[in-house]
């Protein structure tokens, strides 16, 4: 196997490869761009016109997606997976990965779309580097751009594998992309309705990619992901890479769609989230429920019917989102 096929090993060891460019026997080029960043270019005669960005490890303790990307990289390096797609593999937070931590100083996935310019430190520099790598990769004109940012969640979930679909002014959510997600094993999608500061929101709003944050189960250490079944997603990614994707069924039967009702923003150290510590994502909340309280008598009371909660985390820094209240949603009529 080509040495660059050991991207995860190189990243965890903090090593820079001696050879930055290597070719597979089929003529695909692997190029090491920076720590945790590998670009794959197919032979010109086999290029499908798709630019595919696959990122994982934005949170260093979310290992199942990292292991998935490693299998894909190794398959390409061995010549078993023959790319007809340009691919950029990104391992987002190498230092946090090495330490098995979510992040070192601050959450990288809250530092995109200009937020890294308002702070300093390791994660801010890395967010800027990830933006630069993604912008360069997606700079070629007249190509299809697709970004999957792969995560696992802090907590359990009543819907284990789900996606967040970013929002941008002047763009509409794609039924075809939703169908592609359903075929990859995604059970639900949250259709966002305002801009965000996550990596997928950056590539969607600023770089014109179809982009998604994928939540793929619960975070576990390396080697302990036997309970996370990513077979459907891995199969779909392999078919995208090899240019052999099966025809996508446009029907969205079985895919649950949700919309954001409200974000709960933590304003002060007085913030209190009135939920059990072990509550699962997509848990239903009754109307009238006192969800949270904060300084100066601020209260969040559930007013919406069929409301559910995702990403509850009262430990976030002041000014950041401590939970999202969601309700059933749908695509706008064509």
Question: What is the Cα–Cα distance from 318 to 262, expressed in whole angstroms?
Answer: 17
H/E element, 168: none
Whether 58 is in a domain gets the answer: yes
Cβ atoms within 10 Å of 265's Cβ, excluding its own = 17
Q: Say yes or no: 319 and 195 in one domain.
A: no
Q: Among 70, 215, 234, 303, which one carries the catalytic annotation?
A: 215
CATH number reported for the structural domain that contains residue 279 in this entry: 2.40.50.630
Q: Residue 305's domain spans which residues? A: 262-328
Q: Say yes or no: 149 and 219 in one domain.
A: yes
DSSP 8-state secondary structure symbol assigned to residue 60: T
Whether 191 is in a domain gets the answer: yes
Whether 64 is in a domain gets the answer: yes
Whether 299 is in a domain gets the answer: yes
Question: What is the Cα–Cα distance from 312 to 15, expressed in whole angstroms?
Answer: 37
Strands 256-265 and 188-191: parallel
Q: Say yes or no: 57 and 10 in one domain.
A: yes
Question: What is the Cα–Cα distance from 104 to 123, expressed in whole angstroms?
Answer: 7
The number of residues in the chain equals 334
Cβ atoms within 10 Å of 249's Cβ, excluding its own = 11
Overall domain count for the chain: 2
Whether 310 is in a domain gets the answer: yes
Q: Say yes or no: 95 and 185 in one domain.
A: yes
**pLDDT score of 333:** 67
Whether 250 is in a domain gets the answer: no
Measured CA angle at 177 (ends 156, 52), to 5 deg: 90
Q: Say yes or no: 194 and 274 in one domain.
A: no
Using an 8 Å Cβ cutoff, are 161 and 216 in contact? yes
Using an 8 Å Cβ cutoff, are 197 and 132 in contact? no
SS3 146: strand
Q: Say yes or no: 305 and 238 in one domain.
A: no
Using an 8 Å Cβ cutoff, are 112 and 132 in contact? no
In 18-51, which positions are buried (b, 16+ CB within 10 angstroms) versus exposed (e)?
A: eeeebebeeebbbebbebbbbbbbbeeeebbebb
Q: Say yes or no: 220 and 315 in one domain.
A: no
Task: Write out the DSSP string of 228-278.
Answer: ---HHHHHHHHHHHHT-PPPPP---TT-EEEEEEEEEE--STT-EE-S-TT
Q: Say yes or no: 112 and 168 in one domain.
A: yes
Q: Is 59 assigned to a binding site?
A: yes
Q: Say yes or no: 288 and 180 in one domain.
A: no
DSSP 8-state secondary structure symbol assigned to residue 141: S
Whether 233 is in a domain gets the answer: yes
CA distances, 231 to each of 65, 122, 185, 228 (Å): 12, 34, 8, 9
CATH number reported for the structural domain that contains residue 76 in this entry: 3.40.630.10
CA distances, 71 to each of 5, 35, 80 (Å): 9, 18, 11
**pLDDT score of 292:** 97
**pLDDT score of 154:** 79
Whether 76 is in a domain gets the answer: yes
Using an 8 Å Cβ cutoff, are 25 and 79 in contact? yes
Q: Is 80 assigned to a binding site?
A: no
> Among the three residues 186, 208, 242, which one is the final residue of a domain in this structure?
242
Q: Say yes or no: 232 and 266 in one domain.
A: no
H/E element, 280: none
Q: Say yes or no: 194 and 295 in one domain.
A: no
Q: Say yes or no: 91 and 161 in one domain.
A: yes
247 flagged as catalytic: no
Q: Is 151 assigned to a binding site?
A: yes
Strands 161-165 and 86-91: unpaired
Task: Please give the average pLDDT of every successive group of 10 residues along the chain, which has 334 residues.
Answer: 93 95 95 98 94 97 94 96 97 96 94 94 97 98 97 89 96 95 96 95 98 88 72 96 89 92 95 95 97 93 96 91 95 74
């Amino acid at each position: 196997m080509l040495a660059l096929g050991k991207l995860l090993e190189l990243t965890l060891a903090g090593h820079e490869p001696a050879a930055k460019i290597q070719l597979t026997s089929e003529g695909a080029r692997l190029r090491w761009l920076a720590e945790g960043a590998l670009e794959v270019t197919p032979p010109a005669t086999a290029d499908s016109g798709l630019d595919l960005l696959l990122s994982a490890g934005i949170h260093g303790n979310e290992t199942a997606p990292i292991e998935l990307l490693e299998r894909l990289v190794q398959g390409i390096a061995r010549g078993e997976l023959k790319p007809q797609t340009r691919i950029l593999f990104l391992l987002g937070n190498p230092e946090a990965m090495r330490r098995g931590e979510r992040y070192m100083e601050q959450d990288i996935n809250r530092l995109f779309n200009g937020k890294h310019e308002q702070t300093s430190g390791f994660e801010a520099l890395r967010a800027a580097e990830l933006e630069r790598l993604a912008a360069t990769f997606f700079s070629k004109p007249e190509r299809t751009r697709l970004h999957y940012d792969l995560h696992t969640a802090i907590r359990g979930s009543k819907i284990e594998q789900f996606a967040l679909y970013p929002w941008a002014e002047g763009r509409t959510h794609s039924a075809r992309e939703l169908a592609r997600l359903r075929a990859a094993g995604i059970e639900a999608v949250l259709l966002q309705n305002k801009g965000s500061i996550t990596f997928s929101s950056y590539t969607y709003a600023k770089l014109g990619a179809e982009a998604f944050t994928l939540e793929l189960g619960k975070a576990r250490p390396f080697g302990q992901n036997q309970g996370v079944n990513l077979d459907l997603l891995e199969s779909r990614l392999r078919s995208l890479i090899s240019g052999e994707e099966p025809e996508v069924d446009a029907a969205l039967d079985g895919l649950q769609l949700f919309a954001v009702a409200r974000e709960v923003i933590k304003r002060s150290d007085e913030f209190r989230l009135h939920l059990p510590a072990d509550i699962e994502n997509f848990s239903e909340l009754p109307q009238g429920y006192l969800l949270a309280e904060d300084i100066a008598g601020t209260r969040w009371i559930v007013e919406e019917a069929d409301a559910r909660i995702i990403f509850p985390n009262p430990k976030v820094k002041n000014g950041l989102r401590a939970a999202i209240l969601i309700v059933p949603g749908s695509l706008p009529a064509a």
